[in-house]
Structure formats: structure tokens, C-alpha cells
């Protein structure tokens, strides 16, 4: 039954917002789930709501019912639902949870949208160049090879590359694909391999900054949301540590939790963390210190995230504006090399016929 269950982040956003509004209208949890179940048209989503509803009938709370599906609902979502149940403000918490999911989704969509155009240019460029080298170039050169005129060295080099790719290109692609799939499985199963791969990624120019920026936003947004829902800093760090996608981020949260438990403040724990300098900019660290002094830490973190999110989007925009012409120039150079390798033997053939 569970194999048929499907509930994406966008589905969760709609579900929690609808459930929150129904509860605010003084409709009971059971009646609200009945309404959402009857309105749902997708069979897999309908099955999940049915499972939650059946567990509520058996006496489980909403958080306990959702907790039975750990692959769908993450620990942050479960913690917020539980805090709403304990505080008696479940409807408001569900609406806030839905809004946070919406903001996270919109931010992700913006970043993906920014990266789509250069990705398409790169893909089209690779396909174009591959077709020229593997299919067009050999046919053009065969015309010159049929004559007795010798091919220039430059053309011979490009021809050898073309023949090599034509003979072994598919095998090379399959080999690279196999290595990538093997590396992915290794990264999933081995902690050291995952840390090594993350270290490589965060040190890649431009891409590393984007990955670190997204990680910081995710980490601090989780802390802010949980603290605003009534959790202590220690509890928020513990939940965040379980929910963070990057191993570096998990280690940072774990290290910060240990130091906070020993009496240090949040900013001090990050100051002493060997992982924080890789992920968290000094400007954000200073804002956290200000938040601690003003006793509005969660609000300060949330405002800092909003600013940093806009700043990250601008950085990605600038990066793509830089990458696009570089990619175009690179593709242009390759096409020019292929064109020269065809034009040069044409000139040699003309000279040969003339003499």
C-alpha cells in the first residue's frame, strides 16, 4: 500500500494550508480530513490522506499519524505539527508551515529558473559540436582524402579526434555514466565518500558559493521556524541536524548543539565550529550576535535569511550572466577549429590542382 503513496512538497504545502484553514473555521480534525479526502482526485494522494485519517480514528494525533510516513514528512515538519498540538494553535502552525514551504519552493524555483537557460545553451552546444565532429566533419574530409593532396597536420589531428569519438564515443559515455552511478551509490552509503564529494563541490568556483548559500538558508530557516514555534535553541539544533541534506551541515549542527549544551551562545558555538566558516558568511554571524543581544534571535535570523536569499539570487544572476558568454565563446572556438580544419585542406587542394 505504501508503495502507491505520493506526497510531494507542493502537495504538503496545499494539504497543510487547506487543513489549517478548515481547522480555523472550527471544523474538527476528523471532519477536515474527510473533506480533504473527498476533494482529492489523485489516487496516491487520496490513499495517504486515507491512511492519516484512519490513524486519527484509532486515536493517533496528526503528528503521530504523519510520523508513520518518515519518507514523506521530514523531522522539521513533524516537530512543527507537534508544537502546534502541544500549544493548542495547530491551525495557525499549519498555515505558517504551508507558507514556509511555499517560500522555500518559490526560492528554489527562482534559482532553477535562473540556471535553466545556461544549462540549455551548454546542452545544445555539446550536441551541436558532437554532431559536427562525429558526423559532418568525416564526410567533408573524405572528399579531400580521395584526392592525392596531403592533409594539413591541423586537419589530421581533428580527424583523429573525430575518428576516436566515432569509434569509442558511445563506450566513453557509458563508462562515464557507470562511474557517475557508482560514485552516487558510494556517496549514499559511505560517510567519508560523501564528505569528500561535498568538500569538492563547495570548493568549485561559483557552484560552491551557490551550494553553500542554499545550505545556509536551509539550516538557519529551520532554526528560526522551530524557535518561532516554541522550541528551544538546543531542540532546534537537534532537529536541524537530522534534517540537513549536507553532511557538513549536519556536523556543524551537531557540533553547535554540543557547545550550546555546554553553555555557549549560538553565535559562539558557530565561532568555534570548524565547519561554520565553510558555510556561514561572517556577515550572517554578526547578525546572529546582534539578535542574541536584542533577545529577538529567531526574528533576526528570519530577516537575515530574507536578505541573504535575495543576495544569493542576485549572485546567481550575475554568475549566469558571466557563464553564458563564456560558454558561447567556448563553443564558438570549437566550431571555428572545425571550420578551419575543413577550410585549410580546401586551400591545400586548390594549390595542389593549380600546381
Domain boundary among 73, 89, 114: 73
Listed in sequence order, the DSSP H helices in the chain are 9-24, 29-39, 43-57, 62-67, 75-87, 90-131, 137-145, 153-189, 191-202, 207-228, 233-243, 247-261, 266-271, 276-279, 282-294, 297-354
Task: Note whether 122 and 67 are same-domain residues.
Answer: no
The average pLDDT across 139-168 equals 74
Task: Note whether 61 and 192 are same-domain residues.
Answer: no
Task: Note whether 63 and 113 are same-domain residues.
Answer: no
130 lies in some domain: yes
Compute the distance between CA of residue 334 and CA of residue 231 in angstroms, rounded to an integer. 57
Are residues 256 and 285 in contact, defined by beta-carbon separation less than 8 angstroms? no
114 lies in some domain: yes
Task: Note whether 113 and 198 are same-domain residues.
Answer: yes
The helix-helix angle for 282-294 and 297-354 (nearest 10°) equals: 170
| Banded model confidence at residue 86, pLDDT cuts 50, 70, 90 | confident
The average pLDDT across 336-347 equals 77
Any idea how long the chain is?
A: 355
| Banded model confidence at residue 18, pLDDT cuts 50, 70, 90 | very high
pLDDT given at position 42: 86
62 lies in some domain: yes
Most confident of the following: 1-10, 46-55, 114-123, 140-149? 46-55
For the chain, give the longest Cα–Cα distance: 98
pLDDT digits (tens, 9 = 90+) for 176-207: 889 888 877 877 776 677 777 777 777 777 77
289 lies in some domain: yes
Task: Note whether 274 and 347 are same-domain residues.
Answer: yes
The average pLDDT across 200-222 equals 79
Task: Note whether 158 and 22 are same-domain residues.
Answer: no
Task: For the beta carbon of residue 223, count every other beta carbon within 10 angstroms.
Answer: 26
| Closest CA relative to residue 342, chosen from 84, 139, 124, 70 | 139
Statement: residue 64 has pLDDT above 70: yes
Mean pLDDT taken over the chain: 81
Task: Note whether 143 and 42 are same-domain residues.
Answer: no
pLDDT given at position 45: 87
| Banded model confidence at residue 1, pLDDT cuts 50, 70, 90 | very low
136: part of which helix (H) or strand (E)? Answer: none
Match 518559490 to its residue by C-alpha cell.
106
The fraction of the chain above a pLDDT of 90, given in percent, is 13
For residue 293, give the C-alpha cell. Answer: 543581544
pLDDT digits (tens, 9 = 90+) for 301-324: 888 888 888 888 787 778 777 777
| Banded model confidence at residue 2, pLDDT cuts 50, 70, 90 | very low
Task: Note whether 49 and 125 are same-domain residues.
Answer: no
Compute the distance between CA of residue 119 and CA of residue 111 in angstroms, rounded to an integer. 12
Task: Note whether 117 and 219 are same-domain residues.
Answer: yes
85 lies in some domain: no
State the residue range of the domain holding 47: 2-73
Task: Note whether 178 and 215 are same-domain residues.
Answer: yes
91 lies in some domain: no
State the burial class of residue 146 (Cβ atoms within 10 Å of its Cβ: 0-12, 13-18, 19+): exposed
CATH of the domain at 126: 1.20.81.30
CA distances from 316 to 277, 283, 310, 328 (A): 21, 19, 10, 18
The fraction of the chain above a pLDDT of 70, given in percent, is 92
Are residues 15 and 36 in contact, defined by beta-carbon separation less than 8 angstroms? yes
Compute the distance between CA of residue 337 and CA of residue 228 in angstroms, rounded to an integer. 60
327 lies in some domain: yes
* Number of domains into which the chain is organized: 2
pLDDT given at position 349: 63
Statement: residue 233 has pLDDT above 60: yes
Task: Note whether 195 and 308 are same-domain residues.
Answer: yes
pTM of the model: 0.68
349 lies in some domain: yes
Task: Note whether 42 and 142 are same-domain residues.
Answer: no
Amino acid at each position: 500500500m505504501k508503495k502507491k503513496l505520493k506526497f510531494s512538497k507542493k502537495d504538503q504545502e496545499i494539504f497543510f494550508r487547506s487543513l489549517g484553514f478548515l481547522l480555523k473555521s472550527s471544523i474538527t480534525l476528523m471532519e477536515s480530513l474527510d473533506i480533504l479526502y473527498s476533494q482529492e482526485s489523485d489516487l496516491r494522494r487520496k490513499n495517504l490522506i486515507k491512511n492519516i485519517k484512519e490513524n486519527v480514528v484509532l486515536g493517533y494525533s496528526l503528528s503521530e499519524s504523519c510520523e508513520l510516513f518518515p519518507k514523506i514528512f521530514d523531522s522539521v515538519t513533524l516537530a512543527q505539527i507537534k508544537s502546534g498540538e502541544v500549544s493548542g494553535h495547530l491551525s495557525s502552525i499549519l498555515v505558517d508551515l504551508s507558507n514556509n514551504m511555499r517560500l522555500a519552493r518559490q526560492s528554489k524555483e527562482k534559482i532553477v529558473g535562473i540556471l535553466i537557460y545556461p544549462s540549455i545553451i551548454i546542452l545544445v552546444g555539446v550536441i551541436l559540436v558532437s554532431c559536427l565532429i562525429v558526423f559532418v566533419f568525416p564526410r567533408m574530409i573524405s572528399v579531400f582524402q580521395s584526392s592525392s593532396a596531403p592533409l594539413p597536420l591541423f586537419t589530421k589531428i581533428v580527424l583523429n579526434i573525430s575518428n576516436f569519438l566515432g569509434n569509442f564515443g558511445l563506450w566513453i559515455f557509458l563508462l562515464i555514466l557507470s562511474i557517475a552511478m557508482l560514485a552516487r551509490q558510494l556517496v549514499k552509503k559511505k560517510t567519508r565518500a560523501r564528505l569528500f564529494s561535498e568538500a569538492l563541490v563547495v570548493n568549485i568556483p561559483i557552484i560552491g558559493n551557490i551550494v553553500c548559500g542554499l545550505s545556509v538558508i536551509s539550516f538557519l530557516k529551520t532554526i528560526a521556524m522551530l524557535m518561532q514555534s516554541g522550541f528551544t535553541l538546543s531542540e532546534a539544533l537537534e532537529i536541524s541536524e537530522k534534517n540537513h541534506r549536507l553532511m557538513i551541515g549536519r556536523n556543524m549542527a551537531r557540533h553547535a548543539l554540543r557547545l550550546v549544551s555546554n553553555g555557549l551562545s549560538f553565535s559562539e558555538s558557530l565561532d568555534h565550529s570548524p565547519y561554520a566558516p565553510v558555510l556561514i558568511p561572517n556577515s550572517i554571524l554578526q547578525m546572529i550576535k546582534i539578535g542574541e543581544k536584542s533577545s529577538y534571535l529567531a526574528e533576526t535570523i528570519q530577516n537575515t535569511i530574507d536578505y541573504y536569499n535575495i543576495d544569493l539570487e542576485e549572485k546567481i544572476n550575475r554568475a549566469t550572466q558571466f557563464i553564458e558568454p563564456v560558454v558561447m565563446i567556448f563553443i564558438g572556438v570549437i566550431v571555428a577549429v572545425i571550420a578551419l580544419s575543413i577550410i585549410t585542406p580546401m586551400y591545400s587542394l586548390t594549390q595542389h590542382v593549380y600546381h
